[in-house]
Structure 1
Amino acid sequence: MRTTPASLWSLRSLLLASAVGLSGCATFSPDSGMTVVSDITGLTIKKDVAFVRSAEDATQASDAVKRLLSRTLSVDAAVQVALLNNKGLQAAYNELALAEAELVQQSLPPNPVFSISRISGDGASEIERQVVGDILALATLPFRSDIARERFRQAQLKAALETLRLATDVRRADFRAVAANEMVGLLTDAKSTAEATARLATKLGQTGSMNKLDQAREQVFYAETTADLATTRQEAASSRERLARLMGLWGGDLDFRLPSQLPPLPRRPLTLPFIEADAVGHRIDLQIARLELVALAKSLDLTQATRFVTLLDVAGIDKRTHDPDTPPFRERGFDVAFQIPIFDGGEVRVRQATETYNQAFNRLTEKAVNVRSQARDAYRTYRSTYDIAGHYQREILPLRKTITEEMQLRFSSMQVDVFALVMEARQRIASQRAAIDAKRNFYLAQSDLQTAINGGGSGGGGGESAATVATAAVTSSDH
Structure 2
Amino acid sequence: MTFLKIRGALASGVIALAVSGCASFAPDTSFAELSAQVEARTGAAPGWARTDEDRAELDASVDRLLEARVGMDEAVAIAFLNSPAIQSDLEELGIARAAFLSAVLPPNPVIEVVRAARGNELEVDVSVSLLELLFWPQRARAGEAGMAAASAQAASRLADAASHVRIAYVEYVAARQALDLYEQAESAGEAARLAAQAIYDAGNIARVDLDRQRHFAARMTAERMRAQGRIGPARERLIAVLGLDERQAGALQTLSRLPAPPGEVIDAQHVADTAVRDSFSVAAAEARLREVAARRGVRNVEALLGDVELIGEFERRGGWSEAYGLGFSLPLDFGAAGRLRTSAQFRQAWRQLQQARLDSLTQSRSAAMRAEAARELALFHRDVSLRISADVFDGVVRDFNAMQIGMFELLMARRDRVDAGRDYVQAVEEYWRARAELERHVRVADLGQSRPPPDRQPSRAGAAASEEHDHTHRHEGHDH
Q: TM-score, normalised by structure 1?
A: 0.85
Check if 1:106 corresponds to 2:103. Answer: yes
Determine the structure 1 residue equivalent to 2:281.
285
Number of the residue aligned with 1:216: 211
Equivalent residue number for residue 326 of structure 1? none
Distance 1:375-1:320 versus aligned 2 partners, 3 A rule: closer
Give, in whole Å, the separation in 2 of the partners of 1:82 and 1:388. 30
Evaluate the alpha carbon distance shift between residue 332 and residue 98 of structure 1 in structure 2; reply closer, same or farther with a 3 A threshold.
Answer: same
Deviation for aligned residue 1:237: 2.0
Task: Find the partner of 2:168 among 164, 168, 173.
Answer: 173
CA distance in 1, matches of 2:149, 2:97: 11
* Equivalent residue letter for 2:314: D
SS in 2 for 1:451: coil
Q: 1:37 aligns with which of 22, 34, 39?
A: 34
Select the structure with the greater relative contact order (CA < 8 A; seq sep ≥ 6): 1
Contact residue 268 and residue 366 of structure 2 kept, 8 A = no
1:309 aligns with 2:305: yes
Within 1, Cα distance between the matches of 2:351 and 2:124? 53
Question: How many angstroms does 1:73 deviate by?
Answer: 1.2
Task: Read off the aligned partner of 2:337 and give its amino acid letter.
Answer: V
Task: Measure the CA separation in 1 of the matches of 2:300 and 2:366.
Answer: 43
Relative distance call for 1:37 and 1:313 in structure 2 (3 A) is: same
- Distance in 2, matches of 1:234 and 1:382, equals 27
Within 5 Å, give how 1:451-462 maps onto structure 2: 451-453=440-442
Checking the alignment, whether the CA contact within 8 Å between 2:303 and 2:337 is kept in structure 1 is: no
Q: Which residue of 2 aligns with 1:348?
A: 337
Structure 2 residue corresponding to 1:84, chosen from 73, 81, 90:
81
Q: Is 1:282–1:454's contact at 8 Å kept on the other side of the alignment?
A: no
Report the residue type matching 2:20 in the other structure. G
1:325 counterpart residue number: none
Contact 2:306 2:329 in 1 (8 A): no
Aligned to 2:423: 434
Letter aligned with residue 343 of structure 1: L
What residue number does 1:159 align with? 154
Q: Which amino acid aligns with 1:164?
A: A
Question: CA deviation digits over 1:339-362, x for unaligned, max 9?
Answer: 352513111111111112212222
Tell me if the contact between 2:42 and 2:443 (Cα under 8 Å) persists in the aligned partners: no
Residue 267 of structure 1 corresponds to which residue in structure 2? 263
Alpha-carbon distance change, 211 to 362 in structure 1, aligned in 2, over 3 angstroms: same
RMSD between superposed Cα atoms in Å: 2.6
Q: Equivalences for 1:313-392 in 2 at 5 Å?
A: 313-321=309-317, 329-341=318-330, 343-392=332-381
Give the conservation status (yes or no) of the 8 Å contact 2:173–2:258. Answer: yes
- Per-residue deviation, 1:19: 4.5
Tell me how far 1:96 sits from its aligned partner: 0.5
Aligned runs of 1:188-203 on 2, under 5 Å? 188-202=183-197
SS in 2 for 1:245: helix
> Secondary structure at the residue paired with 2:113?
strand
Whole-Å Cα distance in 2 between the matches of residues 63 and 117 of structure 1?
57
2:385 is aligned with 1:396? yes
Q: Paired residue for 1:405?
A: 394
Partner deviation per Cα, 1:181-201 (whole Å, 9 max, x = no partner): 111000001111222333444
Secondary structure at the residue paired with 1:364? helix
SS at match of 1:307: helix
CA distance in 1, matches of 2:235, 2:254: 9
CA contact (8 A) 2:176 2:231 kept: yes
1:234 and 2:263 equivalent? no
CA distance in 2, matches of 1:291, 1:211: 77
Q: CA deviation at 1:265?
A: 2.3
Paired with 1:31 and 1:222, the residues of 2 have a C-alpha distance of: 64
**CA–CA distance in 1 between the matches of 2:266 and 2:320?**
82
Secondary structure at 2:293 match in 1: helix
Given residue 382 of structure 1, which amino acid in structure 2 is its aligned partner? A
Closer/same/farther in 2, CA of residues 381 and 120 from structure 1, 3 Å limit: closer
User: Could you tell me whether the CA contact under 8 Å between 1:8 and 1:318 is conserved in 2?
Assistant: no
Contact 2:113–2:125 under 8 Å retained in 1:
yes
User: What do residues 17-64 of structure 1 show as CA deviations (whole Å, max 9, x unaligned)?
Assistant: 255236534477655621121110222223122111223222221122
Q: Secondary structure at the match of 2:87?
A: helix
Instruction: Name the counterpart of 2:182.
Output: 187
Equivalenced residue count is 442
Post-superposition CA distance 1:201-221 (Å, at most 9, x none):
455555655444434333332
Is the contact made by 1:318 and 1:330 (CA closer than 8 Å) also made in structure 2? no
CA distance, structure 1, for counterparts of residue 105 and residue 372 of structure 2 = 54
Change (3 A) 1:99 1:250: same
Aligned counterparts of 1:296 and 1:304: Cα–Cα separation in 2: 12
3-state SS, counterpart of residue 453 of structure 1: coil
The residue aligned with 1:96 is 93
User: TM-score w.r.t. structure 2 length?
Assistant: 0.84
Fraction of identical pairs, as percent: 23
- Residue 366 of structure 1: how far off its partner (Å): 2.3
Tell me, yes or no, if the aligned pair for 2:21 and 2:106 is still in contact at 8 Å.
no
2:64 maps to which of 59, 67, 79: 67
Equivalent-residue separation in structure 1 for 2:70 and 2:117 (angstroms): 80
Distance in structure 1 (CA, Å) of the matches to 2:61 and 2:349? 42
Map residues 142-153 of structure 1 onto 2, 5 A cutoff. 142-153=137-148
Q: Distance in 1 between matches of 2:100 and 2:356?
A: 27
8 Å CA contact 1:32–1:100 kept in 2: the answer is: no
Matched to 1:249, the amino acid is: L
Other structure's SS at 2:123 match: strand
Contact 2:109–2:129 (CA under 8 A) maintained in structure 1: yes
Q: CA deviation at 1:180?
A: 1.2
Q: Is the 8 A contact 2:367 2:438 kept in 1?
A: yes
Q: Distance in 2 between matches of 1:257 and 1:265?
A: 22
For residue 473 of structure 1, what is the aligned residue in structure 2? none
Write the distance in 2 (CA, Å) between the matches of 1:453 and 1:177: 24
Decide whether aligned partners of structure 1 residues 215 and 157 sit closer, same or farther in structure 2, where only a CA change above 3 A counts. Answer: same
Distance 2:117 2:189 in 1: 104
Q: Evaluate the alpha carbon distance shift between residue 232 and residue 29 of structure 1 in structure 2; reply closer, same or farther with a 3 A threshold.
A: farther
Q: Distance in 2 between matches of 1:408 and 1:265?
A: 31
The structural deviation recorded for 1:311 is 2.5
- The separation in 2 between residues aligned to 1:350 and 1:12, in whole angstroms, is 39
Residue from 285, 290, 296 that aligns with 2:292? 296
Look up the match of 1:118.
Answer: 115
Structure 1 Cα separation of the partners of residues 391 and 309 of structure 2: 90
Task: Determine helix, strand or coil for the equivalent of 1:317.
Answer: strand
